[in-house]
Structure 1
């Protein structure tokens, strides 16, 4: 399978949005709001969006943010979204995306790459652990209303 990893462009959004619907099947996604987030990430200098493409179709996506971190005493990369088309999982696409994210983080001078994953995504947890990612914290969140 000849998969290309590249930065996304605006025209990729519909395909990326379809992947998000696979990632979060129980969440009602607002396409306009998602496009706003997508556009801001593409325009800023703190985020990088990459995708996996096969036969002209986006089949995977990874969003990376770069930030300073006191615990690491330096910069870190944070993967805040990663998804591979359900029909194509197990073919090395996620590995290619993670490897590219790692390379980008190294070029950005990051000391560590981190991500979070929902409790129910046990297959994803096994995948990340197989790739040498270590569980080290709980994520807490609170809505701002």
Structure 2
């Protein structure tokens, strides 16, 4: 049996609700109302975009990204979120979706695609470096404000 794979940009609240279970695997601290609120705010304030890959009408992988302009990187894409549903990993879906983000970036005049990944996510690091050709370019530092 042949699987139907397709991708689409997520835009409506209904579509966000549909992909929430996949995003929850990457962002377990977000309940659905918080996810909907933050996704809407990011879209309105930063032009956040989300692409989803579907397998037979079921979302299996997500990529959330923004186009940015900085003095350091010029015009580029920053990937905020990239996740493939745990039971669908190692099928090439993450590669397909991140490649789609890269193509979007090229079409919109971006010089690079950047992302950060938690230090504990060793499998993700291996994917980015070995399968996608990304290089470790820096450390990300964070300070939580009280």
TM-score, normalised via structure 1 length: 0.88
- 1:45 is displaced (CA, Å) by 6.4
Listed one character per residue, the Cα deviations across residues 57-78 of structure 1 (whole Å, up to 9, x for unaligned) are 1111100111111112x20100
Counterpart residue number, 1:21: 24
Please, what is the CA RMSD of the aligned residues? 1.7
Distance change >3 Å, CA 129–CA 63, structure 1 → 2: same
- 1:44 is displaced (CA, Å) by 5.4
Counterpart residue number, 2:15: 12
Contact 2:84 2:94 in 1 (8 A): yes
Listed one character per residue, the Cα deviations across residues 37-57 of structure 1 (whole Å, up to 9, x for unaligned) are 212344456322100011111
CA distance in 2, matches of 1:67, 1:18: 27
Q: Secondary structure at the match of 2:66?
A: strand
How many aligned residue pairs are there?
Answer: 142
CA distance in 1, matches of 2:37, 2:19: 13
Q: Unpaired segments of 5 or more residues in structure 2?
A: none
Contact 1:5 1:96 in 2 (8 A): no
